[in-house]
A and B are shown apart, each in its own frame.
Chain A
Amino acid sequence: MTNATVHVEGQLHAPAHGAVATGAAHAKGQQHPIKLYLVVWGWLFVLSTCSYLVDYFGLQGYLRWSLILLFMMLKAGLIVAVFMHMAWERLALAYAILLPPIAVLVFVTIMVLESEYTHLLRVLFFATPS
């Protein structure tokens, strides 16, 4: 490897890999105590068991729905915040990634209204008399 190549490579990498290129910076990248991961891991198991038990005991209605969605959001939050390190990123990244999915919720609302309408029409005009 000639020095020239190294230089060019270095320039290409400079803006992007500056953080990882220096050893000191490298060691600091997302270092968290292992205990934290173990605790989160444990909670994920507990929450999964809970959501399975919802089905096992055959809970129904709003209770079932609220429990399922609650456990789902808690699990998703733990994974994104701790395992994917979003809790320690700068807000510029966190908001860029976490806000756009809100558009999906709007889409959900639209499709819920739409499918209720479709269902109504099907019941009114196409349902076979039983």
Chain B
Amino acid sequence: MAETVLTHSGQSPARLEGWRGIAADWASDQRAFKNVSWGKAMMWIFLLSDTFIFSCFLLSYMTARMSTTVPWPNPSEVFALNFGGKHIPLILIAIMTFILISSSGTMAMAVNFGYRRDRVRTAALMLVTAAFGATFVGMQAFEWTKLIMEGVRPWGNPWGAAQFGSSFFMITGFHGTHVTIGVIFLIAIARKVARGDFDVGRRGFFTSRKGYYEIVEIMGLYWHFVDLVWVFIFALFYLW
């Protein structure tokens, strides 16, 4: 049954590169993404659509902030914390950023070990990633609690433009939801990896199809995207 030689990069002889390659791939029969499985292609397309969603949130925030005549609350002050009597600006957000970047690193390692079929290390690194993610969400819950106690609401706050609250809760809330969903899926897939599902070809309970280690990379794509979105939120919401 030919196991479609087509799908694998190095196997079919000459595949064009550069602009001619793009034209050839897109104009070809059956599939445009030649050496990418449908799972990976669909995750990329989902991430693209998610990019547009987050872009719309950030854009509406930008529009609100640029068009208001009321001063915008200074994020550097709003998110400052006192450590041992010292007032450090934006420190909570900085720590959250480092946690998320650490989790991205461990996820990249997990993908690498997944392709080496080292299931113990893959599962362990995925669980570490999930733990970092859960820590991040925990710190976000702390941040939300602190701001709500200080009187920030979607319709107003003590320091300035009313839209600060709605933008903040909308953007960070949506991002936190993504992180939470990521943590849940990380744990689910780490369990499959640890059990050896992808070595023995065990079928999933939902689709009754065999899984492959590639799912670790697809999971990784989602997780890195969550980190990527945070890079933009950190720069545009907290540092502006």
Residues of A within 8 A of B (CB): 7, 9-11, 13-22, 25-32, 34, 37-38, 40-41, 44-45, 48, 51-52, 54-56, 58, 64, 68-69, 71-72, 75-76, 79-80, 82-85, 89-93, 95-97, 100-101, 104, 107-108, 111-112, 114-116, 118-119, 122-123, 126-127
Contacts and interface: CB of A to CB of B under 8 A. Distances in A.
Interface string B157-199: 0000000000000000000000000000000000000000000
B120 interface: no
Interface residues of B, number: 80
24 contacts: A11-B1, A17-B37, A18-B4, A20-B213, A26-B115, A29-B115, A44-B105, A48-B98, A55-B238, A72-B231, A72-B236, A79-B104, A79-B228, A79-B231, A80-B228, A83-B108, A91-B18, A93-B36, A96-B33, A104-B52, A108-B62, A115-B63, A118-B63, A123-B69
A84 B224 contact: yes
B235 to A, nearest CB: 4
Contacts of B21: 90-92
- Most A CB within 10 A of own CB, among B1, B35, B44, B115: B35
B43 to A, nearest CB: 10
Contacts, number: 205
The majority secondary structure among interface residues of chain B is helix
Contact of A48 (B39, B68, B101): B101
B62 A93 contact: no
Contacts of B104: 41, 44, 79, 83
